[in-house]
Amino acid sequence: MKNPRAQVDERGAAASPPRWRAALLRRIALTIALKLALLTALYLLFFSPSHRPPIDAGAVDRLLLQAR
């Protein structure tokens, strides 16, 4: 009697993964891709170099000397 879950070849390895495993792998890959896209969007919107103020040695000197 054949196994309905997966076909097995001569070596005993599964010829194709079960349907639930393929669906799970697809869902995991989609979730990781979505998270990477969201992290990239957050970086570009809030943390990219274009959002950083320019800092020079004179400005740092003025701010530190005021604190003393």
Model pLDDT for residues 6-30, shown as the tens digit of each residue: 566 566 655 666 889 999 999 999 9
| Residue 56 resides in a domain | no
Contact between 15 and 6 under an 8 Å Cβ cutoff? The reply is yes
| Residue 24 resides in a domain | yes
| Residue 23 resides in a domain | yes
| Residue 35 resides in a domain | yes
Number of domains in the chain: 1
Nearby residues of 22 by Cβ (< 8 Å), 6 or more positions away? 16
Q: Is 0.85 surpassed by the pTM of this model?
A: no
| Residue 39 resides in a domain | yes
Range of the domain at 41: 17-50
| Residue 5 resides in a domain | no
The per-residue pLDDT for range 31-64, each reduced to its tens digit, is 999 999 999 999 999 999 888 888 898 888 888 8
Angle (nearest 5°) at CA 45 between 41 and 50: 130
